Amino acid sequence: NEIVLLGAHLDSWDLAQGSTDNGTGSSIVLETARIFQTLNLKPKRTIRFVLFSGEEQGLFGSAAYVEAHKAEMPRFSVVFVHDTGTGRVKGAWLQGRSEVLPVLEGEFDNLLALGLLNEKGKFFPGKMNGTDHASFDDAGVPAFAFNQDSAEYSLTHHSQSDTFDKVRPDDLKQGACVMSILAYNAATRDEAYPRKK
């Protein structure tokens, strides 16, 4: 009866194809679901794969999701959202949740050992808002957006340059592997992710 949620937003600006914002994140969530299905994994916690709408208009989709599932929010262990382009995952924003840092550092040390990271995981202590994890963070759920290689994200998103040729396939494979491992470990660990008291 506990939940791990993996998310991205499906909507984009209409200037181009929305490949890096956020077709890449959406494809990583879908690939993670495919990996779980292919391996027939049966974790202890429920994993939800969600593609939100209305992110670009003000996190409307994730805010509506949180409202619709308000009674379930205490049962959410953790939320991971992929929404800053095609770049490789290298860490996360901690949203001021220092109590989660030891868990995430252990997870990213394992990812480094598996060769999925170029360097030790990097974590920023402050809040990163403006993407769908923030709706869950505001509801008290440990929710994180990935820290990623920039991969010229600032030059592509919300522009006519956000086209399919900017996608880096190897980065997406890495992102799907990272999300899959984090999700599986979160869904099978003995305890839910720690929360602020």
List active site positions. 55
Residue 54 burial (CB count, 10 A): 16
* CA–CA separation, 14 and 49 (whole Å): 25
Q: Which residues of 129-141 are buried (b: 16+ CB within 10 A; e: fewer)?
A: eebbbbbbbbbeb
Q: Which CA distances in Å does 149 have to 26, 50, 93, 154, 172?
A: 17, 23, 13, 11, 12
Q: Which amino acid belongs to residue 30?
A: L
**Which of 58, 87, 64, 89 minimizes the C-alpha distance to 183?**
89
